[in-house]
Amino acid sequence: MTRRNWMAAAAAAWIIALALAAPARAQVFTGRIDVAIEDATGARLPGATIDLTGPVTQTHVSDAQGLGHFLNLPVGTYAVKVTLAGFTSATSSNVEVLSGASTPLAVALAVSGSPEITNVTPISPAVDLKRATITTHVTEE
């Protein structure tokens, strides 16, 4: 093999090695969590606050379709808490995020009971205790 052919073969081998190494660097080491928030009837709830805690901490508000998306999360275990006014909050712990995977999470919120408020208004007594006389009205009928 001549020196020129040997150099061309070495250059081709080097180019092939670099081409095969590029996909190895493009591996994905993150995942995502997709949260769907519904009420007891299955209707989606927009405007719910979604708190994510784990290797990273994030907060999102569900969109008009009642969905929340947490993207590019490091692999690990997370806890998701969903709150919305008028509903009881819900927490899902041990939500696993795997490399290159999407973790779906459906959260159902129950309507919370409203606290009963009682307004007490003082009523004046029917008998005036400060008055010493009694008046009687008699009609002709």
> What integer pLDDT is reported at residue 58 of this predicted model?
96
Beta bridge partners of residue 82, listed in sequence order: 50, 90
Task: Give tens-digit pLDDT for 15-49.
Answer: 776 666 655 555 668 999 999 999 989 999 999 99
Output the pLDDT for position 125: 52
Architecture of domain 30-108: Sandwich (2.60)
> What are the domain boundaries of the chain?
30-108
pTM of structure: 0.63
Q: Are 108 and 39 in contact (CB under 8 A)?
A: yes
